[in-house]
Amino acid sequence: MSIEAKKAYVKELLHRIAEYDDKEAFNTFFSLYYTKLIRFALLFVPSKQQAEDIVSEVLIRLLKRRTTLPTIENFEGYLFLSVKNQALSFIKHTSSRMSFHAVDPEGVLLQSEQVNPERLLLDDELRNLIHQTVENLPPRRKMIYKLIKDDGLKYKEVAALLDITPKTVENHLDIAIKEIRKSVSFYLNGKKVKTVLEKIPQNLIFLCVLCTLV
């Protein structure tokens, strides 16, 4: 689903929640955002339980004022900002130190229109590779990448959420993309080597191995 399609989908969910108290729509909304919001809250508080409490408080407040939800512009930015403010309020009242902890985030998927089995296998391997590369990024860089690439937020919106400059956001994103490109390039180069080896007769490979053992 493209970012624009996702925004339209979320807008429709908010309309159903606001107008009809649609529980199914809220459950869908919950499944879309809960894990992401927990992950985001963990940038500010040290435990998953605290993050869950913060996100739950934000969602409860949203439900109480659900009739106004469709009127909120840039709803995703508003949602993340609400979690940030709630987290900072929590820190203020508990004197907790800010820390960064990673939880299992959702993977970054590649879209493919190919139906060739070998290409589908390659795409699946690339999905796993990109997912693992993003997982290995430093927590803040990983969060910035996901907020921009997965959630469609702009540099300025991410900068405001994380209290950093747009230039810092850009730098983090550039480094993340370079890391992904490096991993993909290394992987594809390995595939080319494997393809070449597969074209060499097995008896010749065996002979070469024997020569190295002599």
Using left for φ > 0, alpha for ψ between -120 and 50, and beta otherwise, residue 2 falls in: beta
pLDDT in tens, 158-169: 888 888 899 999
Average pLDDT score over residue span 63-83: 87
pLDDT in tens, 130-164: 888 888 988 889 888 888 887 778 888 888 888 88
Q: Which residue has the higher pLDDT, 211 or 178?
A: 178
CATH topology of domain 3-94: Rna Polymerase Sigma Factor; Chain: A (1.10.1740)
Integer distance in angstroms from the first to the last C-alpha of the chain? 57
pLDDT in tens, 175-197: 998 898 888 888 777 765 455 44
pLDDT of residue 67: 87
pLDDT in tens, 8-31: 888 899 999 888 888 898 889 888
pLDDT of residue 148: 86
Output the CATH code of domain 117-213: 1.10.10.10
Residue type (1 letter), 7: K
Token pair in block for residue 143: 């969060």
Q: How confident is the model at residue 95 (pLDDT cuts 50, 70, 90)?
A: low
Q: Which residues are within 8 A (CB) of 16 and not within 5 positions of it... i.e. 6 or more apart?
A: 22, 25
155-162 vs 75-94: helix crossing angle, rounded to 10: 10
Domain ranges of the chain: 3-94, 117-213
Identify whether the C-beta of residue 140 lies closer than 8 Å to the C-beta of residue 43. yes
Is the pTM value of this prediction over 0.75? no
DSSP string, 83-152: HHHHHHHHHHHHTPPP------PPPPPPP-----HHHHHHHHHHHHHHHHHHHTS-HHHHHHHHHHHTT-
**Letter string b/e over residues 52-65, b meaning 16 or more CB atoms within 10 A of that residue's CB:** bbbbebbbeebeee
Mean of all residue pLDDT scores within the chain: 75
| Domains 3-94 and 117-213 belong to one CATH topology | no
The CB density around residue 11, as the number of other CB atoms within 10 Å, is 14
pLDDT at 98 over 60: no
